[in-house]
Amino acid sequence: MIPFFDHTPSAPKICGITRPEDAEGAIEAGAGALGFNFYPPSPRSFPEDADLGWIKDLSVAYPDIALVAVVVNPNESLLKRLADAGCFHAIQFHGDETPEFCASAGSLFPFWIKALRIREEGDLAVAVTFSTPYLLLDAAVQGTYGGSGHTIDWGLASKFIASHPDRKVILAGGLTPGNVAAAAGQVHPHAVDVASGVESALGQKDPVKVREFITAVLAG
């Protein structure tokens, strides 16, 4: 079992990785998982014809680090490409995918995660209809599918976790080195996830922010 999926709390997931040096830096700083975006409108997305060889190399060099492909309403071609790449331990559905679609497409990978955009308590009602225990809670911001830098209501997340101990919730949405310790302390999630909060520019991770973020989480 890969530690990120098994251990609670788990080391942080650094999402929106686009460069090998950012991946290596996050791993050396103590990350438990890395997220790679395959949603073209995102500034952190891999091009359709991108060479995934260096990600495959990561999976061999760091077998205990979870490598996650992040998708939004993916088509069959993309799913096949990601599954055939043989380097992703999980796929993260970040769009409007149904529970049935996620269960079917997710079976192509060892694990799958469903991301939910949360604005109010009613948005959490659908969470239990997904058959995976791994749920990522992100901010609901019109016109985006994540990476907005907005926080969610930590109280709602905490309440959901307390009432659904069978779910392994990954907390996302507007987390930074400055607020992640407070967020984790209030919510007690399975893990935390960050993208824009540790960047120096869109798609480029700031090594100092990454290290400060992970240190803040692990110190708690």
Give me the long-range contacts of 90-93 (CB less than 8 A, separation at least 24): 90/5, 90/66, 90/134, 92/35, 92/68, 92/136
87 an active-site residue? no
Q: At what angle do helices 20-29 and 53-61 cross, to 10 degrees?
A: 20
Residue 125, SS3?
helix
15 an active-site residue? yes
**Phi and psi dihedrals of 215, rounded to 5?**
-60, -40
Catalytic entry in 84, 138, 153, 206 = 138
Q: Which helix (H) or strand (E) holds 89?
A: none
* 71, 140, 184 from 197: Cα distances, Å: 20, 17, 15
Catalytic entry in 6, 15, 64, 123 = 15
Q: CB of 169 within 8 A of CB of 118?
A: no
Residue of 116, 40, 114 lying closest to 78 (CA atoms): 40
Distance CA(109)–CA(70), nearest Å, equals 12
Kindly state the DSSP code that residue 120 receives in the 8-state scheme.
S
Catalytic positions, written as ranges: 15, 138
